[in-house]
């Protein structure tokens, strides 16, 4: 198996690293305190081409695939996981439109999205449904040539920024799930105050209230009743980027732990000479590298959309592993710093808090393992052969 990155992938990684270090790093503290990603930062991602990595050139993208996007996500997350989250959600809103939308919708949303002029949102999660999309309660009904939506969507990223939102709703009569795209802040669209969260504070999440929101038939993405397939396909691929984000968090906590171990002295010698510290550092390094390689393999597999059941099982396996590993790795790294690790000045506590999101968002870890195990035990194909 070939693990070398191509010239294009290396260029994208280096570009993302430059944007992260030269632009985002200067505003990371501000993003954390203000609890939002400024438009200028978002536009900087677009100017560098990072918003268009997986998209065809005809819409302004660079058609470089999911491995390249995973590399970019990792680099951005090493500096600000919150910026990475906002970017990922907007990109995978566009991915849904790319794969399931019509040409008019693609021209309407992909081009300005890739240019960073709008931020898309995905609205699936609800107060009474999380891991089971078939339990969606947000409802729609036909009203002449239009459709009327009512319901509440929970924990929606980018909800208070101008731009489009992709809403999944269930027909009141037939109970089929359909996807609708429309601009936020139309009549009947309102928001809760942002949720206070343990981490990823710069990518604030809100509840979205839909009260008699009226949209035209042209707002339907795909076909009536195709919403479940659109949701499953989009979420599976977005988890690749989410895994890369948490790898980036792990990589930064590793860097901070190594730096501290080399600089901190005890009785005249570096604590890096203590075996207890060495054991931790070696374990952290192994966790980072294993999670990174699994994520890259998953990203490569995600290019093939012909067997979504198989891909979803791989996604579940890798997402669960990376999530749990991110928490273990970042916590262990913080422990290397001892009491300094829990202070804001030494930065690592922020990344530990961000890592705590991993097992609890975009599919909780236990559910992801159930999905993977079901495929391993009952599917006809072998999940891990021919790696």
CB 54 within 8 A of CB 91: yes
DSSP summary character for residue 1: -
DSSP summary character for residue 347: S
User: How far is residue 248's CA from residue 77's CA, in Å, rounded to a whole number?
Assistant: 5
Backbone angles phi, psi at 156, to 5 degrees: -95, 120
233: its two tokens: 């396909």
Residues whose CB falls within 8 Å of the CB of residue 11, separated by 6 or more in sequence, listed in order: none
Helices of type H across the chain: 7-19, 28-34, 39-47, 65-79, 81-100, 103-114, 227-263, 275-301, 308-336, 348-355, 365-378
User: How far is residue 140's CA from residue 173's CA, in Å, rounded to a whole number?
Assistant: 9
User: If residue 143 lies in a helix (H) or strand (E), which one and from where to where?
Assistant: strand 139-143
User: How far is residue 267's CA from residue 69's CA, in Å, rounded to a whole number?
Assistant: 46
User: How far is residue 306's CA from residue 233's CA, in Å, rounded to a whole number?
Assistant: 11
User: How far is residue 171's CA from residue 158's CA, in Å, rounded to a whole number?
Assistant: 26
Residues whose CB falls within 8 Å of the CB of residue 203, separated by 6 or more in sequence, listed in order: 37, 81, 82, 83, 85, 86, 89, 157, 158
DSSP summary character for residue 225: T
Residues classed as catalytic: 362
User: How far is residue 165's CA from residue 90's CA, in Å, rounded to a whole number?
Assistant: 9
**Upper half-sphere CA count for residue 249 (Cβ side, 13 Å):** 36
Of the candidates 349, 326, 323, 319, the one whose C-alpha atom is nearest the C-alpha of residue 336 is 349
Helices of type H across 101-218: 103-114
């Amino acid at each position: 198996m070939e693990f070398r990155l191509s010239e294009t992938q290396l260029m994208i990684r280096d570009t993302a690293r430059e944007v992260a270090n030269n632009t985002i790093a200067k505003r990371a503290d501000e993003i954390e305190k203000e609890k939002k990603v400024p438009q200028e930062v978002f536009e900087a991602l677009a100017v560098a081409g990072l918003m268009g990595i997986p998209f065809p050139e005809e819409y302004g993208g660079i058609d470089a695939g999911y491995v390249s996007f995973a590399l970019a996500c990792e680099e951005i997350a090493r500096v600000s996981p919150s910026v990475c989250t906002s970017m990922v959600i907007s990109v995978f809103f566009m991915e849904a439109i790319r794969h399931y939308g019509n040409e008019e919708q693609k021209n309407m949303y992909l081009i300005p999205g890739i240019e960073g002029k709008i931020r898309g949102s995905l609205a699936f999660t609800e107060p009474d449904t999380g891991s089971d999309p078939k339990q969606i309660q947000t409802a729609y009904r036909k009203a002449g040539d239009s459709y009327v939506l009512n319901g509440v969507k929970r924990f929606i990223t980018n909800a208070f920024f101008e731009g489009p939102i992709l809403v999944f709703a269930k027909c009141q009569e037939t109970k089929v799930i359909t996807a609708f795209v429309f601009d936020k802040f139309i009549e009947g669209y309102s928001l809760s105050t942002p949720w206070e969260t343990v981490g990823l504070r710069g990518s604030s999440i809100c509840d979205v209230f839909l009260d008699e929101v009226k949209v035209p038939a042209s707002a339907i993405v795909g076909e009536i009743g195709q919403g479940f397939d659109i949701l499953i396909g989009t979420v599976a691929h977005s988890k690749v980027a989410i895994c890369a984000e948490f790898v980036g968090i792990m990589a930064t906590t590793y860097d901070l732990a190594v730096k501290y171990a080399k600089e901190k002295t005890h009785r005249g010698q570096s604590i890096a000479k203590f075996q207890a510290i060495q054991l931790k550092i070696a374990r952290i390094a192994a966790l980072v590298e294993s999670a990174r390689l699994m994520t890259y393999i998953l990203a490569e597999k995600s290019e093939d959309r012909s067997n979504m059941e198989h891909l979803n099982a791989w996604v579940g396996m890798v997402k669960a592993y990376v999530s749990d590993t991110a928490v273990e790795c970042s916590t262990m790294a913080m422990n290397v710093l001892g009491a300094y690790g829990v202070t804001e000045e030494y930065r690592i506590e922020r990344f530990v808090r961000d890592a705590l999101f991993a097992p609890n968002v975009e599919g909780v870890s236990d559910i992801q393992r159930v999905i993977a195990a079901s495929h391993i035990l009952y599917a006809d194909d072998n999940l891990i052969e021919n790696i």
